[in-house]
């Protein structure tokens, strides 16, 4: 009897899971995911409940819950940046020229 093996095909990510699955707004979704993750880290470090966070952030508790669970389509990037500022973070937006080797620029979030 021959041993049957099921080969698993592995595809390397481009670095953005939303782009990997073909979403048209992949870059925006990646940025929002990174911002939401940072907001979640700050809330956890401060031991804030979602109700306490909702007061600080000016969002309803269900909206905070959705954002922290990755359902952030109804929250703008600007609001998420405002949330970070309300949590005591300085937010800077830096725009620079893309290298000549690329036609389009990239959008990425860097945390210091």
CATH superfamily of 24-86: lambda repressor-like DNA-binding domains (1.10.260.40)
Euclidean distance between CA atoms 46 and 41, whole angstroms: 9
Instruction: Print burial letters for 24-41: b (CB count within 10 Å at least 16), e (below 16).
Output: eebbbbbbbbebbebbbe
Cβ neighbours around 5 below 10 Å, total: 6
Domain assignments of the chain as residue spans, ordered by start:
24-86
pTM: 0.81
pLDDT in tens for each of the 112 residues of the chain? 566 667 888 878 888 888 888 888 888 889 999 999 999 999 999 999 999 999 999 999 999 999 999 998 789 999 999 999 999 999 999 889 989 998 888 888 888 8
């Amino acid at each position: 009897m021959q041993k049957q093996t099921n080969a698993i095909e592995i595809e390397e990510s481009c670095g953005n899971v939303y782009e990997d699955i073909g979403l048209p707004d992949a870059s925006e979704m990646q940025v929002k995911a990174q911002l939401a993750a940072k907001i979640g880290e700050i809330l956890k470090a401060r031991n804030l409940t979602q109700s306490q966070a909702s007061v600080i952030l000016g969002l309803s508790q269900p909206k905070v819950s959705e954002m922290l669970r990755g359902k952030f389509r109804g929250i703008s990037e600007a609001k998420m940046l405002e949330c970070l500022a309300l949590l005591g973070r300085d937010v800077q937006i830096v725009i620079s020229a893309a290298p000549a080797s690329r036609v389009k620029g990239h959008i990425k979030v860097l945390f210091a």
